[in-house]
Structure 1
Amino acid sequence: MIIIDSPSHDAYFNIASEEYLLYKYPTADLFLLYVNAPSIIVGKFQNTLAEINLDYVDEKGIKVVRRMSGGGTVYHDLGNLNFSFHTLFEGNDFLDFSTFTAPVLSLLNGLGVPAKLEGRNDLLLDGKKFSGNAKFAKNGKMIQHGTILLNSQMEVLADALKVNPLKFIDKAVKSNRSRVTNLIDYLAVGTDTETLKEWLIAEIVKANPGAELYQLTPEDIDAIQRLATEKYNTWDWNFGFSPNYNFKKAAKVPAGFIEVHLDVDKGYIKQAKIFGDFFAAKPIEELESLLVGVKHERAALTTLLESIDIQGYFGKVTAEEIVALFS
């Protein structure tokens, strides 16, 4: 088994590293550990906009990254340790999460923490979740990765993943907002992610005699960074990959009541309908047509709405007020 401790706290880099290592080591067993700065990691089949509080995420500069595995959306920060097992897919039960959560449970149980695997893929403590796990198969290998909430900022987690359920009606799987807990209150004072990482590496080495530590080379880091830039740090992957969905939002602005309905396909607006009691000098159908083909994201909408006579369609409004209606 090869053990790798990522040198980076960048979520784009660390999620990209899982794909890079998948191809660099097509047959070897591998164990990867990483800690991300504040970020939201979205399941492959989820509608990103339906999972996050976009205003809060933008304000706080929280990165949003889509991973290659299914499952729900999770929040990462420096108080959260992430682990990833890579193994050959042959003979493995894809729905069995017990094999690769066993080292985490063995470590914690040995420290007197009564953690256990419950349900499909969660590790719980006193009925509260501290670790969610997901997996995928690709290139003949299977990757199972998971989180360990040690001392994560729960208030940020709650705010970053909060979204108005009335805004979206989508075909994607929404995350199950489980009750969660940190491990810090169950471990020795001063335990941090580096300590937990060292303990977990020791547990893996004990269970896998001959396991070796590998340090990413400058060539590895350059290749991972390229993949991160070209794929994992792009709007098309993180937002545009989202399934089709319908968006609805209404608000009262100085010009009157405005209600927006959008059909969105792969992140692009395919149809727009705008209702309300505002007074318009220009036909609203004209604006609806202009919206077709625009990315359903703040920057693209701002560019469009600031380039036209927005008051001609709604009366006394600002482009910023209208942009807010679309997000």
Structure 2
Amino acid sequence: MTNRMLIIDSPSHNAFFNIASEEYLLYKYPKADIFLLYINAPSIIVGKFQNTLAEINLDYVNQQNIKVVRRMSGGGAVYHDMGNLNFSFHTLLESNDFMDFSTFTQPVVNVLNSMDVPAKLEGRNDLLVAGKKFSGNAKFAKNGKMVQHGTILFDSEMQVLVDALQVNPLKFVDKAVKSNRARVTNLIEYLPENTTITILKRRLIAEILKNNVDAQIYEFNEEDIQSIEKLVKEKYETWDWNFGTSPHYNFKKAVKIPAGFIEIHLDVDKGFIRKAKIFGDFFASLPIEDLEQVLIGQKHSLERIAQLFDRIDLTAYFGKVNQDEILDLFK
């Protein structure tokens, strides 16, 4: 069984579960070729080497309950929702060229071409139709395997995509990989009428079965699900993985509130504040340096900073302010 290609249609719409399943399968089936398909409820998937906070609109993401999860591959941040089909190929590393994206995007191109959609691979790792991108692809190597995964924008909510990934570029100074926001489009505009994401998924599975005679459909069993959920709890839904592993960055933000103008500069390493400097024209009864010192060593996380502020009289440092006004500085 381990030498036959396994085709897996994930039963979950949880981004934490589906991204974790990619790592789980590397170790569960170290020799097998695997074709994994999944659809995630609204979520942002950030590249391994990215600064998560610099890629997402944190306020909007929190308001909309959009999950944020870091994947194991490089590249840029992408938005997933129920109108977005994701595919993932796992194969032995030594039998494939790591920089070749065409082999594993070709089945997608074939299926779409057969439906009269003029899709093609352009550049290194993007699939385009009529000059607009509908699929970005990334890959990584681990445990002797190579994993290439990609998105297919079928009928995604484009405005949510834009709003969720809209970040103030002046807040962050870092060397992390920045996402390239190409012109994107949904495939539904080009596909035959009444085509659903389920139909597209079935066509893709049929294409893989046609070209891999020994392939078989595999369903996650209870042991698989429990193991993946354990990995989710220990890694993929944790702050440490999704935010804390962000590269070193400098963060700055200014607000104008009734108490005055306040500007904060943070030096953040692996998600923790290493230096803090606060400027402004506010009036304070306690030295602002004392508050700066309290911030050092804390997570650059709104939840953690809010907990900290619950125990501090902020009016002693800034005058007549409320907690939300000062918390806004850290977003």
> What displacement does 1:226 show?
0.7
Residue 221 of structure 1 aligns with which residue?
225
**53, 56, 63: which one pairs with 2:57?**
53
Secondary structure, counterpart of 1:84 in structure 2: strand
Q: Distance in 1 between matches of 2:50 and 2:124?
A: 18
2:125 to 99, 121, 128: 121
Question: Is residue 72 of structure 1 aligned with residue 76 of structure 2?
Answer: yes
- Give a deviation string over 1:193-221, Cα, whole Å, max 9, x none: 21111010001111111210001101100
1:106 to 106, 110, 113: 110
- The worse-fitting range, judged by mean Cα deviation, of 29-38 and 191-200 is 191-200
Q: Does 1:180 align with 2:184?
A: yes
TM-superposed CA distance for 1:146, in Å, is: 0.2
Give the one of 88, 94, 99 matched to 2:98: 94
Q: State the TM-score, normalized to the length of structure 1.
A: 0.99
The 5 A counterparts of 1:1-327 are 1-327=5-331
Letter aligned with residue 292 of structure 1: I
> How far 1:190 moved relative to its partner?
2.5
Instruction: Please give the alpha-carbon distance, in whole angstroms, between the structure 1 residues aligned to 2:49 and 2:196.
Output: 32
Instruction: Name the CA distance, whole Å, in 1 between partners of 2:124 and 2:293.
Output: 45
Aligned-pair distance for 1:270?
Answer: 0.3
Fraction of identical pairs, as percent: 71
Contact kept? 2:115, 2:192, Cα under 8 Å: no
**Residues 269, 293 of structure 1: 8 Å contact kept:** yes
- Structure 1 runs, 4 residues or longer, greater than 3 Å off: none
Tell me how far 1:249 sits from its aligned partner. Answer: 0.4
AA matched with 2:145 = K
Question: Cα offset for 1:324?
Answer: 0.7
CA positional deviation for 1:234: 0.3
SS in 1 for 2:110: helix
Give a deviation string over 1:25-51, Cα, whole Å, max 9, x none.
Answer: 100111000000000000000000000
**1:289-325 CA-partner distances (Å, limit 9, x unpaired):** 0000111011001111121010000001111110111
SS at match of 2:136: strand
Q: Which runs of 5+ in 1 are unaligned?
A: none
TM (norm. structure 2) is 0.98
> Aligned with 1:130: secondary structure?
strand
Mapped contact 1:79–1:192 kept (Cα < 8 A): no
Whole-angstrom CA distance in 1 between matches of 2:69 and 2:19: 8
- CA distance, structure 2, for counterparts of residue 301 and residue 285 of structure 1: 17
Partner letter of residue 213 of structure 1?
I
